[in-house]
Chain A
Amino acid sequence: EVQLVESGGGLVQPGRSLRLSCAASGFTFDDYAMHWVRQAPGKGLEWVSYISWNSGNLDYADSVKGRFTISRDNAKNSLYLQMNSLRAEDTALYYCVKSSAPKERDYGGNSDFDYWGQGTLVTVSS
């Protein structure tokens, strides 16, 4: 059974940093690209970032580019999101998401998101 378990969320002041983690299990982690998707309270879904299976290809939404860094450790089956210079508008539930396409068919993240974690809440407020 595929499991994605996020951690690291919390209350943080504007301008500060936070690092999210996602522990993956139930599938061959290094065969798949991964994403972070967020959802502000009461709002819709917003894609945040993508990382290819070998970390060779990274991508970010314009809203977080230059402030957030995605990374992964395939030996630990873990995905990370380093969030710097946090703003109030970054307040959201952050989901760790698995790409459905295996690495041979991943072209920069162009596939559906077949498994989602339960999310970790980040609140940016003074």
Chain B
Amino acid sequence: DIQMTQSPSSLSASVGDRVTITCRTSQTISRYLNWYQQKPGKAPNLLIYAASSLQSGVPSRFSGSGSGTDFTLTISSLQPEDFATYYCQQSYSTPWTFGQGTKVEIK
């Protein structure tokens, strides 16, 4: 199984901050990496697919980069509605695994 390691596990940031979350995989997955946002009590929402493609309807302040084993989700200017937990997920090989999540909290 491909192991997914996100860092940090949590972070505190202020509105307007640039935020970066990292996801590292235990083996190379090309660009088969997706990012989801989950708010409390809600289902996850797809933000980025194929490492850097923005899902329709997702604000452009979200961006993704990386390939191989190292990937990044960046929020260019954190907004109040962005406080949530973020998960990476690999779609390279079954079982389809997720990172443990990064909780973004208000500073």
Contacts and interface: CB of A to CB of B under 8 A. Distances in A.
Interface of A: 35, 44-47, 50, 59, 61-62, 95, 100, 108-114, 116-119
B46 to A, nearest CB: 5
B46 A46 contact: no
B94 A59 contact: yes
Contacts of A95: 43-44
Interface residues of B, number: 25
Given A114-B46, A116-B45, A108 B95 contact: no
A38 to B, nearest CB: 11
A47 B91 contact: no
B34 interface: yes
Given A59-B94, A61-B95, A110-B96, 15 more contacts: A44-B99, A45-B101, A46-B98, A47-B96, A59-B95, A95-B44, A109-B94, A112-B34, A112-B49, A112-B91, A113-B46, A114-B49, A114-B55, A116-B44, A118-B43
For chain B, what secondary structure do more than half of its interface residues adopt (helix, strand, loop), or is it mixed? Answer: loop
B30 to A, nearest CB: 11
Contacts of A47: 95-98
B87 interface: yes
Nearest to B96: A47
Contacts of A44: 87, 98-101
Interface string B34-56: 10101000111110011000010
B44 A45 contact: yes
